[in-house]
């Protein structure tokens, strides 16, 4: 049975008539008021489903003072980490009955961050969540006095404002420890941009694990999250190997740079893990399909989103809560890591690129490194 005047937009009185309750009772159910009898709530919800009624968000906001919308400010959405942080937050917000409104900044500057938060406040969002991994953005968040709850995600380092994140230091320690436990004498590192707090946390974890193991700390190479910067780092490390450096293990601050490094090694005939063991960070969906499949550190973005939304809801309730514990990362061991290379262990079957060195009568980097290790033994 259709309500009278079915061509017009449905209103609460239509639901009230179908459920046999008052308009005020429907309003309480729609706005999740706790003081409604279970049987009555179920009857109203059944009427809502039968009629296909959708509450008017603007009208509900006037009644409740809430738009049930969370603003999210992010940057570099083309990168896996920020993109998955967005997905995790959106899923958690939806599960809590909120929608997520997104602003993507071209540059992570303090001015851009302030403008984005101001726009969200003007739109009457209930709270704002911001990606604070870059220095300018983090400083802007710290200085803002927003009239709505403001929460930072993936801000890294120490802070005294509400924030959630994955434990980047612990993730880097996991990667470095894995390589050292395989017998490698040290671990080289390709880091992210200098203004990224996540990148600095990963450097801190790498250094801490080397120090704990009494392993020497080689100088790190600076990358910028892109495969091309990983490729350039791979060329530099291969050149060091040709010059006799004992490069047998590399930890990269993300999987995209690891992809570039593996490509550079392949171009000069080096293979993982026979010549060099390689560990990335993030666990891209493509990581199991790298050649060979990539050992990496996984971040649980779904859990990050859940904790971020929990912190937002607690602040909306006026609770003075401490920031949640960092989300624990997980080491995923695949095929790019192995023991310290043994002289004469051989290479895998299949095509490889060696012409750059053979044609010029230059030692293949892997062969020269193995000969030097054999002489040392």
Residues 106-133 pLDDT 10s: 877 778 888 888 888 888 899 999 887 8
Spatial CB neighbours of 38, under 8 Å, sequence gap ≥ 6: none
- Rounded to 5 degrees, φ, ψ at 84 are -75, -30
- Specify the pLDDT at position 322: 72
CB 279 within 8 A of CB 296: yes
Please give the Cα distance from 196 to 178 (Å, whole number): 24
- Specify the pLDDT at position 267: 96
Task: Count CB atoms within 10 A of the CB of residue 317.
Answer: 9
Same fold, 69-165+302-326 and 168-298+342-376: yes
Please give the Cα distance from 102 to 108 (Å, whole number): 15
The model's pLDDT over 339-374, given as tens digits with 9 standing for 90+, comes to 998 655 543 333 322 222 222 233 334 444 444 444
- Specify the pLDDT at position 158: 52
Per-residue pLDDT of the chain (377 residues), as tens digits, is 444 444 566 777 788 888 898 877 877 777 677 778 888 988 988 988 888 877 655 445 445 456 789 999 988 777 888 888 889 999 999 988 899 999 988 877 778 888 888 888 888 899 999 887 888 878 777 777 778 888 888 766 555 667 889 999 999 999 999 999 999 999 999 999 999 999 999 999 999 999 999 999 999 999 999 999 999 999 999 999 999 999 999 999 999 999 999 999 999 999 999 999 999 999 999 999 999 999 999 999 889 988 889 898 888 888 877 777 899 999 999 999 999 986 555 433 333 222 222 222 333 344 444 444 444 54
Q: If you search the block for the tokens 């639901």, which residue do you land on?
A: 15
CATH of 69-165+302-326, one of 3.40.50.2300, 3.20.20.120, 3.90.550.10, 3.40.190.10: 3.40.50.2300
- Rounded to 5 degrees, φ, ψ at 54 are -125, 120
Please give the Cα distance from 151 to 72 (Å, whole number): 10
Please give the Cα distance from 116 to 10 (Å, whole number): 35
Please give the Cα distance from 59 to 67 (Å, whole number): 9
Task: Count CB atoms within 10 A of the CB of residue 322.
Answer: 8
- Specify the pLDDT at position 155: 62
Q: In what order do the strands lie in the sheet with 188-191?
A: 221-222, 188-191, 249-252, 277-279
What's the CATH fold of domain 168-298+342-376? Rossmann fold (3.40.50)
Q: If you search the block for the tokens 């809502």, which residue do you land on?
A: 48
Instruction: Determine the length of the chain.
Output: 377
Among 326, 301, 327, which residue's Cα sits nearest to residue 91?
Answer: 301
Spatial CB neighbours of 21, under 8 Å, sequence gap ≥ 6: 40, 43, 44
Q: CA angle 306-310-314, nearest 5°?
A: 175
Q: Is the CATH number 1.10.260.40 carried by domain 12-64?
A: yes
The domain ranges of the chain are 12-64, 69-165+302-326, 168-298+342-376
Among 274, 308, 359, which residue's Cα sits nearest to residue 96?
Answer: 308
- Specify the pLDDT at position 184: 97
């Amino acid at each position: 049975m259709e309500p009278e005047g079915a061509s017009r937009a449905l209103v609460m009185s239509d639901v009230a008539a179908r459920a046999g309750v008052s308009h005020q009772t429907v309003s309480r159910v729609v706005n999740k008021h706790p003081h409604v009898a279970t049987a009555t709530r179920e009857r109203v919800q059944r009427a809502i489903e039968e009629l296909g009624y959708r509450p008017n968000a603007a009208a509900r906001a006037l009644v409740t003072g809430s738009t049930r919308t969370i603003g999210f400010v992010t940057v570099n959405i083309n990168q896996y980490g920020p993109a998955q942080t967005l997905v995790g937050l959106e899923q958690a917000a939806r599960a809590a009955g909120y929608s997520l409104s997104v602003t993507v900044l071209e540059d992570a500057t303090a001015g851009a961050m302030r403008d984005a938060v101001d726009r969200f406040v003007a739109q009457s969002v209930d709270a704002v969540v911001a990606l604070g991994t870059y220095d300018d953005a983090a400083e802007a968040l710290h200085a803002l006095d927003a009239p709505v709850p403001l929460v930072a995600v993936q801000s890294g380092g120490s802070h005294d404002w509400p924030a959630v994140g994955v434990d980047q230091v612990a993730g880097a320690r996991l990667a470095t420890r894995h390589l050292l436990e395989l017998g490698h004498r040290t671990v080289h590192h390709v880091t992210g941009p200098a203004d990224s707090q996540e990148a600095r946390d990963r450097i801190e974890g790498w250094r801490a694990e080397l120090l704990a193991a009494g392993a020497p700390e080689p100088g790190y190479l600076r990358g910028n999250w892109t495969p091309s910067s990983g490729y350039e780092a791979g060329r530099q490390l291969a050149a060091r190997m040709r010059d006799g450096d004992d490069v047998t293990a590399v930890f990269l601050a993300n999987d995209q740079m690891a992809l570039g490094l593996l490509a550079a090694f392949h171009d000069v005939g080096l293979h993982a893990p026979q010549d060099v063991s390689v560990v990335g960070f993030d666990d891209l969906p493509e990581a199991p399909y790298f050649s060979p499949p990539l050992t990496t550190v996984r971040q649980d973005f779904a859990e990050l989103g859940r904790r971020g939304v929990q912190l937002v809801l607690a602040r909306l309730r006026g609770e003075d809560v401490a920031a949640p514990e960092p989300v624990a990362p997980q080491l995923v061991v695949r095929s790019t890591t192995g023991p310290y290379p043994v002289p004469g262990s051989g290479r895998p079957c299949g095509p490889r690129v060696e012409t750059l060195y053979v044609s010029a009568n230059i030692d293949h980097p892997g062969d020269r490194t193995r000969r030097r290790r054999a002489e040392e033994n």
